[in-house]
Amino acid sequence: MAVNNERAGSTPLIERRSIDYIPEAERHGRLFSQFTMWMGANLQITAIVTGALAVVLGGDVFWSLIGLLIGQLLGGGVMALHAAQGPKLGLPQMISSRVQFGVYGAAIPIVLVCLMYLGFTATGTVLSGQALGQLFGVSDSVGILIFASVIVLVTVLGYRVIHWIGRVASVIGVIAFVFLFWRLMSQTDVGALLQIRHFSWSSFLLAVSLAASWQIAFGPYVADYSRYLPSATSSVKTFFAAGAGSVIGAQVAMILGVFAAASANGQFAGHEVAYIVGLGGTGATAALLYFSIAFGKVTISTLNSYGSFMCIATIISGFKGHLTVTRMQRLVFVLFIVGAATLIALLGQHSFLGAFKSFILFLLAFFTPWSAINLVDYYCITRERYDVPALADPNGRYGRWNLLGISVYVFGVLVQLPFISTKFYTGPLVAALGDVDISWIIGLVLPAAVYYFCAKKWHSAVPDRLILPVEQNSTQQAKTSGAGRAAAQA
């Protein structure tokens, strides 16, 4: 532990690495920081709104709460399995996709992930802009610009600052949520709400889907924040640290959303931020709550922006062979990403954003098959035995394009289409299922099964062990020194 603390203390404030492999000498951090970061990322207004949808769209309180919990556990399990890859590989999540898709082919899901997180950043910026506008007495547009500036700063600083923000956000979030729960319980007959039980499969599955999709959406970048942990870190402990933080934080926020929507008498939808703050009171109390909402969005919006930056850098490095990102280049990347999200937020804060959010939810269908393929390959086919140096070589072990992975991925996307239910697109089988979107279940189960059976027959050769860059260098140095000794003896 002393060595770990020493490493953390010697690590610069501004992150030096981007998509590079993290050498063992630079590994630092504790599992508890995974818990606090993901808890802080979920104790925020968007999670409250997501939970409220289970009631707004027709569910009762009792079964909505159970459905949301089941969805959290299912989706959180998928999310946490990705998190456990970070310490072992020392790489950003999406680079490992090159094993399943090829060095060039991995760009296919990565582009779609970039679009999705760009949209998530934009929607979060709108809600935060409303909170900052109320807090500082300025327009929502000015609030959006203030929030965007903070996101740029934190994203540029990188890993250590993001974790620090996560710890602070967890503390502030817990305090704010305890207070809001107390106020809500004092104004609402919770027992009466829980007694109203009208079970409906469509409403129940909707609640499960809302929570599961929320958790699965973290999959493409969760390992980005566990890759700095020492490689000896237990995969099981990493799984539970990240998964528990995310599940607990999201479930608490969604429970508040369920009760708020159920007691709002139709006043919640369209006035989410104002209604939640109104539960706590006015004056200084309201100002503190607006601050907690905005600060809570800093963590998740930074994760989205940082994840987008990592994805873009991964795409470029795949075609260039290698990419060393300087701090100035990082700043340019981040300004471009946050600038695009801010522009979308400014243009869509009044009308366009609703349709855009539907488009983003539609994009979820494009990376649930990716998640299934990545997890099956890592845990069942290669069993953690990756050749990390080969991930940067289009002519190496994994090649440019992996037709097996790409084909199963395309199949996974197409097979979901009949079951998708969004304003942007609704599949032909949705009505028969009570207007419930179960595409995420189809997108996880079927591609996972197809990839497993196909990869068992046609997967390329798997290394005998996990090959890391440092191990390769050590082997090369041993060969060189051995050759030198032989030459000296001759």
pLDDT in tens, 294-318: 777 777 787 777 777 777 877 877 7
Best CA proximity match to 429, nearest among 421, 362, 446, 411 = 421
Q: What is the pLDDT of residue 451?
A: 96
pLDDT mean over 191-199: 83
pLDDT mean over 430-453: 90
Within 10 angstroms of residue 415's Cβ, the number of other Cβ atoms is 18
Do the Cβ atoms of 116 and 341 come closer than 8 Å?
A: no
Distances (CA, A) of 125 to 319, 362, 371, 399: 32, 20, 27, 39
Q: What percent of the chain has pLDDT over 70?
A: 86
As to burial, measured by CB atoms within 10 angstroms (0-12 exposed, 13-18 middle, 19+ buried), residue 395 is exposed
pLDDT class of 354 with cuts at 50, 70, 90 = low
pLDDT tens per residue, range 144-182:
899 888 888 887 776 677 767 777 877 887 888 888 888
Higher-scoring residue by pLDDT: 272, 430: 430
pTM value? 0.82
DSSP 8-state code for residue 21: -
Q: What angle do CA 179, 35, 127 make, to 5 degrees?
A: 50
Whether residue 293 has pLDDT greater than 50: yes
Q: What is the pLDDT of residue 93?
A: 85
pLDDT tens per residue, range 207-244:
998 899 889 988 888 888 898 899 899 999 999 999 99
Higher-scoring residue by pLDDT: 17, 338: 338
Best CA proximity match to 342, nearest among 331, 355, 353, 329 = 353
Which of 174-187 are b and which e, b meaning 16 or more Cβ less than 10 Å from the residue's Cβ? Answer: eebbebbbebbeee
Higher-scoring residue by pLDDT: 166, 448: 448
Here the tokens at position 161 are 């600052």
Here the tokens at position 12 are 């610069």
Do the Cβ atoms of 122 and 344 come closer than 8 Å?
A: yes
Q: What is the pLDDT of residue 163?
A: 66
Mean pLDDT of the chain: 81
CATH no. for 2-98+107-354 = 1.10.4160.10
Task: Give CA–CA dist 165/159, Å, rounded.
Answer: 10
Q: At what angle do helices 159-187 and 235-263 cross, to 10 degrees?
A: 40
Q: Which residue type occupies 7?
A: R
Task: Give CA–CA dist 179/6, Å, rounded.
Answer: 38
